[in-house]
Amino acid sequence: MEYRIPLIGEKIPEMEVQTTHGKKNLPGDYKGKWLVLFSHPGDFTPVCTTEFYSFQDKIDKFNEMNTELLGLSIDQVFSHIKWTEWIKENLKKEITFPIIADDRGQVAERLGMIHPGKGNNTVRAVFIIDPEGIVRTILYYPQELGRNMDEIIRIVKGLQMVDKYHVAAPANWPNNELIGDEVIVPPASDEKTAAERRGKEGCYDWWLCHRKI
């Protein structure tokens, strides 16, 4: 059966997956929580090890945002277990989030995590999924480049902010070069509102206004 990769704004496909914490149902078991689902090329590899260490090091920040982490690679569950044991014993960091054992590659195929020219390994994909199971962000990194965890945290925090206040986040939010930590309000949708905004404090023009939250 041929699957189409879920896109931003679509629901993540329903799947039962085997993890290091037992079987889990996607997205049902994460309803009401944000989820960062990410793939790594393989266990016992250098860049992936640094990524898992970094994800775990920032687990409290994810927890504060009501966000769960879920890893994935095309390895068997015993390989995941031995690798996380190695990380705990040698790097003194216990991996507390589950990892999907996708040894047949079915989950990775369905989510577009296997790319041409990379063999059977998964690329470094990231799916940020909201509490309703909707895909809100998709990131792809090559195998050679490790991810920036602070950017993933920024994305989750930004999405939660725009959902709560019905605004938009500018570039580099919350440290934008023009408006600092302020946010962008939706553009005017009628002539009257557009006219009211011209020359108004906090507006560069009727279609570019900002405010504090």
What is the number of other CB atoms lying within 10 angstroms of the CB of residue 146?
16
| Sheet bearing 67-73, strands edge to edge | 22-26, 15-19, 99-101, 67-73, 34-39, 124-129, 135-141
Residue 57 parent element (H or E): helix 46-57
φ, ψ of residue 52 to 5 degrees: the values are -65, -40
Q: Which residues are within 8 A (CB) of 62 and not within 5 positions of it... i.e. 6 or more apart?
A: 36, 68, 69, 153, 156
Can 48 be counted among the known catalytic residues? Answer: yes
Catalytic residue among 26, 37, 48, 69: 48
Q: Is 137 exposed, middle or buried (0-12, 13-18, 19+ CB in 10 A)?
A: middle
Q: How far is the C-alpha of 29 from the C-alpha of 38, rounded, in Å? A: 16
Q: Which residues are catalytic?
A: 48
